């Protein structure tokens, strides 16, 4: 799994900072998460192949999370795209995009599918053989979802020494990987766990932006490997965080701790702060494994 | 008059090129012309004071000319703007902006006035004591206007030597500037043109993008000081220019020559060309005073 942060600053694009957008590489998927103004340029700068993006997840309809989408959709057409594009977003986005395309007498050469979200409970919105994506209902000023990206549990791995010592025919290897017991050439039943190792632990990533401090998400993101949680403010501005329904770095860390996540990445910083290290220091008073998100940064896990 | 080109490339924003947006400074106005994605960042890079922009002119509703507007409107609010903003644009833009603000549960702290354009004839859309702005109907795939910015004729200038030699009382100076004859202290009638110089020639700037070759605009832009005319293509791709309703550099120059303009600025280049000088060379086979527009370039006239 590879996370490429294209932008992680709040409110507006600026000369050296970009609004929210991330690219998550997971099991051959390239998922785009949020799409603030200028995301298509950030995709170019970060050398992400446009054609490999087939699924875009939009958390909510504040401009700094979706104003770049209509331009990206339009650029996909200009680049001659013909592969399907799926967009998962709060209800209303389809109307905005469609209206703009109608006014510009424009269209797409490719199939564009809108999956409009309205549920206030967590739901699976994408699933294939290896990956699921489910919503994380957040608490913000407008209807907002985070997204939980999870690998499915893979096959068991053969313990080749044990397999060979047990004289199991090659034609049973598939069944062993699937967890079944098998009978060897001598007719003896071989228990599966005697000759296999458990599968790799499936990896998971949770994206939570924008949200007030919200313990209700803890069970959903329990033990994820990596949590991106917004920290628009520091505790010194907690009085601004509450009414705007944003979080402080300390609150983000508290959620990370309660959910026992592997690593916390911070982001969605207010541009009032010039030194990001203070966010990290504040979060680390609660939870140790904290990384600072920043535009162009790549996390592999 | 000062023209700051923020972006002048066609189709999409890219790592090093920006879609159409220009700032025209004329008689203390800061007019923004078109507003492609990323314009607010270009405004910052070019150190244009956001609060001084009170009038925005949008030529047409193709994305590369207006996708940056909703973000700019939203940023104006975040920056605490309270001065009025007027937007002159084809009918439909108000609906798009309003819908996006509704969906994001957003608003403006300032008065936002939409002046929706539908006329296919040239019309004056802004006028004050010193400046007029009128539309230049263009020939493009959707309803499109260029804009003609014109200073009004100013006051005559006093020839101070002649004024003093004619013993004219100071209280008559205002009348002299307004073109009236006056009577001096000795009771003699002094003809206005004996003691004044004509006013400075009013300056004018015409913005014409996007458009097919269209001689119908020549009378409207007759003798303007500076013409910005799109040249998406070179003559070698004239077959692409016709169906997409764009112009070649040579066609832009032909319009400039017929209208006897002072200077031609080219722009809206297709990104298929790596060397812009070829545009200039092609245009100069028809019209001599050609400049290449480019992002960040400033023209003073």
Q: pLDDT tens across B148-195, in order?
A: 999 999 899 999 999 999 999 999 999 999 999 999 989 999 999 999
Q: How many domains does chain B have?
A: 2
Let me know if B1 is exposed, middle or buried by CB neighbors in 10 A (0-12, 13-18, 19+). middle
Do residues B83 and B179 share a domain?
A: no
Tokens (6 digits) for B113 = 């006035």
Do residues A149 and A260 share a domain?
A: yes
Contact at CB, B13 and A40, closer than 8 angstroms: yes
Alpha-carbon distance of B64 to B70, in angstroms, equals 13
Each residue's pLDDT tens digit, A221-245 = 999 999 999 999 999 999 999 999 9
User: Which residue range(s) make up the domain with B99?
Assistant: 2-154+200-300
Do residues A191 and A242 share a domain?
A: no
In chain B, which residues have their Cβ closer than 8 Å to the Cβ of A68? 37
Do residues B77 and B146 share a domain?
A: yes
Do residues A134 and A278 share a domain?
A: yes
Helix, coil or strand: residue A132:
strand
Q: Which of A11, A96, A104 sits opposite B99 (nearest CB)?
A: A96
Among the candidates B197, B224, B258, a domain finishes at B197
Confidence of residue A26 (pLDDT cuts 50, 70, 90): very high
Contact at CB, B14 and A106, closer than 8 angstroms: no
Tokens (6 digits) for B178 = 């307004």
Helix, coil or strand: residue A167:
coil
Do residues B182 and B270 share a domain?
A: no
Contact at CB, A44 and B103, closer than 8 angstroms: no
Do residues B93 and B221 share a domain?
A: yes
Do residues B261 and B128 share a domain?
A: yes
Do residues A193 and A204 share a domain?
A: no
Residues belonging to the binding site of B for Zn(2+) are: 60, 62, 64-65, 140, 210, 268
Which residue is associated with the tokens 């505790």? Answer: A235
How far does Cα A241 stand from its chain's mean position?
23
Contact at CB, A67 and B71, closer than 8 angstroms: yes
pLDDT per residue, tens digit, chain B (301 aa), is 999 999 999 989 999 999 999 999 999 999 999 999 999 999 999 999 999 999 999 999 999 999 999 999 999 999 999 999 999 999 999 999 999 999 988 889 999 999 999 999 999 999 999 999 999 999 999 999 999 999 999 899 999 999 999 999 999 999 999 999 999 989 999 999 999 999 988 999 999 999 999 999 999 999 999 999 999 999 999 999 999 999 999 999 999 999 999 999 999 999 999 999 999 999 999 999 999 999 999 999 9
Among the candidates B197, B229, B262, a domain finishes at B197
CA of B54: how far to CAs of B3, B27, B93, B115, B136, in Å? 16, 13, 17, 13, 21
Do residues B174 and B144 share a domain?
A: no
Taking alpha carbons only, the member of B36, B50, B119 closest to residue B85 is B50
What are B's interface residues with A at a Cβ cutoff of 8 A? Answer: 11-15, 37-38, 40-41, 44-45, 61-63, 67-68, 70-71, 74-75, 78, 90, 92-93, 95-96, 99-100, 103-106, 141-142
DSSP assignment letter at A198: P
Taking alpha carbons only, the member of A41, A21, A42, A40 closest to residue A31 is A21
| CATH code of the domain containing A132 | 3.60.15.10
Closest-CA distance of chain B to residue A280, Å: 26
Do residues A187 and A246 share a domain?
A: no
Do residues A247 and A192 share a domain?
A: no
Among the candidates B138, B166, B197, a domain finishes at B197
User: Would you tell me the crossing angle of helices A69-78 and A93-103 to the nearest 10 degrees?
Assistant: 50
């Amino acid at each position: 799994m590879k996370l490429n942060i294209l932008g992680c600053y709040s409110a507006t694009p600026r000369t050296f900072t970009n609004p929210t957008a991330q690219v998550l590489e997971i099991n051959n998927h390239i998922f785009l998460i949020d799409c603030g103004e200028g995301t298509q340029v950030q995709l170019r700068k970060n050398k992400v192949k446009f054609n490999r993006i087939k699924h875009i997840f939009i958390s909510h309809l504040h401009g700094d999370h979706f104003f770049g989408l209509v331009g990206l959709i339009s650029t996909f057409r200009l680049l001659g795209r013909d592969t399907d594009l799926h967009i998962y977003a709060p209800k209303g986005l389809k109307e905005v995009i469609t209206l703009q395309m109608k006014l510009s007498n424009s269209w797409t050469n490719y199939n564009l599918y809108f999956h409009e979200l309205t549920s206030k409970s967590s739901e699976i919105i994408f699933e294939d053989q290896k990956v699921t994506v489910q919503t994380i209902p957040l608490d913000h000023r407008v209807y907002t979802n985070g997204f939980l990206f999870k690998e499915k549990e893979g096959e068991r791995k053969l313990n080749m020494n044990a397999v060979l010592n047990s004289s199991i025919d090659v034609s049973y290897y598939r069944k062993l990987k699937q967890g079944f017991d098998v009978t060897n050439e001598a007719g003896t039943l071989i228990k599966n766990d005697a000759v296999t190792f458990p599968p790799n632990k499936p990896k998971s990533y949770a994206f939570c932006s924008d949200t007030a401090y919200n313990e209700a998400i803890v069970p959903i993101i329990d033990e994820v490997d990596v949590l991106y949680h917004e920290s628009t403010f520091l505790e010194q501005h907690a009085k601004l965080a509450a009414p705007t329904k944003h979080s402080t770095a300390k609150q983000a860390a508290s959620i990370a701790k309660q959910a026992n996540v592997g690593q916390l990445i911070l982001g969605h910083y207010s541009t009032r702060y010039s030194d990001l290290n203070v966010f990290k220091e504040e979060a680390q008073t609660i939870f140790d494994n904290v990384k600072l998100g920043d535009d162009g940064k790549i996390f592999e896990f």
